[in-house]
Amino acid sequence: MEFHVLYRPSHSLAVCNLNPNETVRAEAGAMVSMTRNINVVAAAKNPADGGGLKRLFKGLKRMALGGESFFTNTYTAMNQPGHVSFAPSLTGDMIVHQVQPGEQLLIQGSSYVAAPDSVTIDTKFQGFKGLFSGETLFFLSATGQGPVLMNAFGAIETIDLDGEMVVDTGHIVAFTAGIKYSVVKASKGWISSYLSGEGLVLRLQGRGRMYVQSRNPSEFGATVGRMLPPREN
Amino acid sequence: MQHQIEFGPSSAWLKVQLAPNETIQAEAGAMVRHTSGLQIDTRLNAGRKAGLGAKLKAFFAAIARKFLGGETMFVNDFHGPQGGELVLAPGTSGQIMHQLLDGQRKLFIQASAYLASTGDVDTKLRFGGLKSMFGGEGLVLQECTGQGDVWINSYGGITEVPINGSFVVDTGHIVAFEGNNLNFKLRSAGSSGGFSLKSFLFSGEGLVCEFTGTGRVWIQSRNLNALVSWISPFLR
């Protein structure tokens, strides 16, 4: 299985080539087109989510914190090779990270697009909800082996970190677990952090790879949102 | 100060390398990332050399800025004893341009186009006349003077147009302009001068800005008001 990303960086489209009987799992709503032999299972069970109530709880948690779709779908190429293409909602780039055995990639909830079943996507990771800044942060964890497709708002910068970096919560895409994170105030005090417009930021420390996006969805929402007419009713 | 503008024209961001104790002033909320050791000081968008009276005046100007100019009331100063790297980005998709002010230049920028500045660059709020407030299509400008760097963000790509004579730009597409004997006048697009309510309401062009004299204007290829008008009917 392989991903090709076309039309980078603004209007990226990912094409996923599947060998006979191979499966790719993707965020619901991301599919653009597919060959005739693709079998789609909507709201497919994620093996990492466990069964029954546990799965429902995890789905709800993901939805509440991450803005991530409640369900993922699986796409399987029946008996012959096939392909599926995926696109995100926002204008921006997509990138493929190859997860290595023993490595863990933490993905910001809404940046995850697709991965094969050889990569386990787990929602056990802690999220965060800023009380008055309105920022939410939720990480999915990817382990196993294989490619993970992620999307961004704007362009993506790849950084090999060895040391420390402070990143705005709205600009983080993903980072490997060799990097430890803590959520801290952008400025010294709570009031100045709020007034600075930065609110809470991530302090990333350690060694590993990180991906940063050049636009912040909440900033864009705030810029356009304040110009919109009030909703009726 | 060393700087790079990357990922333009659609997703541009500004990367600066701060020397020890060097300061850059940025629009609130623009920070993407920075190396450790930099600190943020938040203050009222009031200009650096303001006294008490001027600060009071600046407070009201800052409020006016927030509500009329779509600009935030606060700005952030980034600096650190060892310096470091800082990345800044605007809210909308688009380009960033750099201008160097030498103490002689007087640059007018659309208030929401301000991203960052250095040195003793001072920004003062200016209105393009009372009628510019009509219909929310107003032209709220920041007059930038002093010495230092200014970074300006746009919605869409930026075109620089030299003016010698006269030139007309839709107010929503103006990024910045300058010229020692450049005058500007706001009018509705359909009329040849003055203000016509009919052409303002029905031409679909809203207000335009007519420049006369010599100088230059920077225009952006997209208009945020147009995006908002387009989205609004879809909202329920």
Residue A207's pLDDT is what?
A: 97
Q: Which residues of A touch B32 (CB under 8 A)?
A: 167-168, 171, 212, 214, 216
Residue B72's pLDDT is what?
A: 60
- Distance of residue B12 Cα from the nearest chain A Cα, in angstroms: 7
Contact A231 B236 (CB under 8 A): yes
* CB contact A184 to B (< 8 Å): no
Q: Contact at 8 Å (CB) between A30 and A86? A: yes
Q: Contact at 8 Å (CB) between B74 and A195? A: yes
Residue A192's pLDDT is what?
A: 77
Residue A63's pLDDT is what?
A: 62
Per-residue pLDDT of chain B (236 residues; tens, 9 = 90+): 899 999 999 999 999 999 999 999 999 899 999 999 999 998 877 665 556 666 666 666 666 655 554 556 788 999 999 999 999 999 999 999 999 999 999 999 988 899 999 988 988 777 655 444 444 456 778 889 999 999 999 999 999 999 999 999 998 899 999 998 999 888 777 655 555 565 555 555 567 889 999 999 999 999 998 898 888 888 87
Say which DSSP state B6 is in: E
Q: Which residues of B touch A231 (CB under 8 A)?
A: 235-236
Residue B134's pLDDT is what?
A: 45
3-class state of residue B70 by DSSP: coil
Contact B33 A166 (CB under 8 A): yes
Tell me the mean pLDDT per 10 residues along chain A, length 233: 94 97 93 96 67 65 56 91 95 97 93 94 65 67 96 97 95 95 84 78 96 94 85 66
Contact A171 B231 (CB under 8 A): no
In three-state form (DSSP H/G/I as H, E/B as E, the rest C), the secondary structure along chain A is CEEEEECCCCECEEEEEECCCCEEEEECCCEEEECCCEEEECCCCCHHHCCHHHHHHHHHHHHHHHCCCCCEEEEEECCCCEEEEECCCCCECEEEEEECCCCCEEEEHHHEEEEECCEEEECCCCEEECCCCCCEEEEEEEEECEEEEEECCECEEEEEEEEEEEEEHHHEEEEECCEEEEEEECCCCHHHHHHCCCCEEEEEEEEEEEEEECCCHHHHHHHHHCCCCCCCC
Residue A187's pLDDT is what?
A: 81
Distance, in Å, from the CA atom of B144 to the CA atom of B102, rounded to the nearest integer, reads 11
* CB contact A182 to B (< 8 Å): no
Alpha carbon separation from A102 to A20, A145, A210 (Å, rounded): 28, 8, 17
Region of B57 on the Ramachandran plot (φ > 0 left; ψ -120 to 50 alpha; else beta): alpha
